[in-house]
Structure 1
Amino acid sequence: MALSQDIDLGAEPGAHGWFGFDDTAIMHLCPHARCRLAAVHADQFPVDADLVGRLLRRQLPAYAQLPMRRVASGGTVNAVFRLGRDLSVRLPLTADGVGSVLLESRWLPRLAPLLPVAVPGVVFTGEPSDGFPFPWAVHRWLDGRPLVEGRAPDAVVRAVARFVDTFRSIDLPDAPPAHRSTPLAAVDAEARAAFESLRSFDEEIDVDAVVSTWARVTAVPYDEAQRRWIHSDLMPSNLLAANGRLGAVLDFGTVGIGDPAVDLIPAWNLCTPRSREIFRNHVDSDDLTWERGRGWAMSMAAVQLPYYRDTNPIISANARWVLRQVLTD
């Protein structure tokens, strides 16, 4: 793949950036003393700096001597390494992540000019080699701090709403189905099983109220003629803030055509009740779409919390937040 020619091969990276959380932030988010950012999947492929170095030396030797470090990440699809000052290396953790790498390589260059904030620039897409069985990618590094639930400035909330509306207005042909492209009712059985599993954990969540709310939102009608381009994974850790503003949006491996309600999930995974009103006032949404958005936020959180409870403090803390916020209005 042809490389971009304007990369600045900078020196030692700073402490934060794309998916960057320091240890203090990680421990603040995790309610279990033993919890760290550990392996999150049973079939996770082992990845370390030595492997990344071998891949670079074989396929991208001009960048193989740059300083590199693994980034503490709330992500669950890719291991992320910062390479020099201006690049990141992304390697799928499992075979399920391969599609995301290839989807981003195809669509990010086409989507980027149409969006109101910075998004990752694809510099190189690598092939399986040196014992690593999956495609991998080098992207441009984007500076900023990942957002955290309940702490987004009003200006950022408004900018997220603008991003959602802009994404829906995209009219690129041959769009793939989004990762969450089915009607909400299609995930009913999985979500209900996840809700019930929460009863076995020591969590301060009103499961009966969650189940009752879920029954209401899954009854909301959906016409597939409403389908639009959506990002499909607007988690706070995929949103970077810089200087009090929304600086970038990350992780486009789930994009495609789907229910526009899916991209309303920041109303519950990011916002407080007060900032949720700001978000709603600045995003284009009718009442039915809003309620389906609540349902999508619930379904994601219900699956995430039991799965990542002991392995990913960032995702599990956000899931707890969502399952409380969806009951507040």
Structure 2
Amino acid sequence: MGQRLPARRGGISVVAALGPHRMDSSHGFRVHGTSGAAGRRVEGLPPLKPASPDKEGPVHHDQIAIDVPTVQSLIRQQFPHLMREPVSYLPSTGTVNAIFRVGDLLAARFPLRRTDPDELAESLRAEAGAMSELAGHSPVPTPTCVGLGRRGDSYPLPWTLQTWIPGSVATPSGLAGSIRFADDLVRLILALRKTDRHGRTFSGGGRGGDLPDHDGWMEHCFEKSESLLDVARLRLMWGSFRELPAGGEDVMSHGDLIPANLLVDGERRPAA
């Protein structure tokens, strides 16, 4: 491959991240947008330990309070077959959703910021469809949506219930020299590129598109990185990348293929 794969561990554990992107010879594949992740276990985290998602104070000015008793009540009302399963809050660095374990096999995701319930419900249904499509084409396991929760008296928005994928969350080090992991990652990328677009095309927003379109953002990053990185060398690299010709038609790709959205078991990716 010419260089070592950046240190990444595990398999993808995100939703609504499958979308059409245009390849070029600098990236190999295009990505755009981001999506919250769930269905993952942080290595070393005690299982099923109740906690409060806002015990250190809210992150957003319009953040919705959600705790274990509220989740238990919603599950009891809407998914009574799961009412005896233990529920626990999963500490996370994410700021979009509060995630709760439901037994050993499921995870519940609750949006934290107030928004229009009907628009959110439509978005969550689309997200569930994307999860199903990703699972149908990924060579490694991926979480799938098993239920769409309704808003209730104690929580004002729709929410989702999905399968739990065991494994350890990626870190910035650990598998940089793993050929087995690199092979698994390549298999995933190639499998998604072969997925039928069903007429969909790259939206032009977020990550991806033509590299020169990102000159403004890259300049901002260079200016902010002067004291951290060899910016002169990076500018030269960017200048050569942005002049490479486009490499083909739009393809499907994972929209947020970063370490935090990967899980691993040993040197293999158990989930995507």
TM-score by length of 2: 0.66
Residue of structure 2 aligned with 1:69, choices 67, 88, 93: 88
The 2-side partners of 1:38 and 1:211 are apart by 40
- 1:216 corresponds, among 236, 240, 245, to 240
Identity among equivalent positions (%) equals 29
Provide the residue aligned with 1:206 in structure 2: 230
Residue of structure 2 equivalent to 1:184: 211
Larger helix share, 1 or 2: 1
Q: Which one-letter code corresponds to 2:192 in the other structure?
A: F
Does residue 147 of structure 1 match 2:193? no
Instruction: Tell me if the contact between 1:89 and 1:139 (Cα under 8 Å) persists in the aligned partners.
Output: yes
Structure 2 regions of 5+ residues with no counterpart?
1-38, 47-55
Residue 161 of structure 2 corresponds to 138
5 Å-filtered alignment, 1:139-178, equals 139-152=162-175, 153-173=178-198, 175=200, 177=202
**Structure 2 CA distance, aligned partners of 1:103 and 1:93?**
19
For residues 101-160 of structure 1, give each alpha carbon's deviation from its aligned partner in whole angstroms, at most 9, with x where no partner exists. Answer: 333311222332322110112110123333544432111111111222231232122101
Checking the alignment, whether the CA contact within 8 Å between 1:156 and 1:244 is kept in structure 2 is: yes
User: Paired residue for 1:197?
Assistant: 224
Name the structure 2 match of 1:93.
112
CA, structure 1 residues 103+247, in 2 after alignment: closer, same or farther (shift >3 Å)?
Answer: same
Shift of 1:91: 1.9
Output the TM-score relative to the length of structure 1.
0.56
Aligned to 1:279: none
Q: Provide closer, same or farther for how the CA distance between residues 218 and 138 of structure 1 changes in structure 2, counting only shifts above 3 A.
A: same
Distance change in 2, residues 1:56/1:155 (3 Å): same
CA change 1:205–1:93 in 2 (3 A) is farther
SS in structure 1 at match of 2:240: helix
Q: C-alpha distance in 1, partners of 2:57/2:246?
A: 38
What residue identity is the alignment partner of 2:249?
Q
Structure 1 unmatched runs, 5+: 1-16, 25-36, 250-329
Number of the residue aligned with 1:20: 42
Larger RCO, structure (CA 8 Å, separation 6 or more): 2
Per mean C-alpha deviation after superposition, the further-off stretch among 99-108 and 63-72 is 99-108
Match of 1:122 in 2: 145
Amino acid at match of 1:248: A
Aligned residues: 218
1:9-88 aligned at under 5 Å gives the runs: 18-22=40-44, 44-88=63-107
Residue in structure 2 matched with residue 255 of structure 1 by the alignment: none
CA distance in 1, matches of 2:210, 2:67: 39
**Matching residue's letter, 1:168:** R
Residue 27 of structure 2 corresponds to none
Return the structure number with greater strand share.
2
Q: CA RMSD in A?
A: 3.4
Letter in 1 for 2:183: R
Mapping of 1:286-301 within 5 angstroms?
A: none
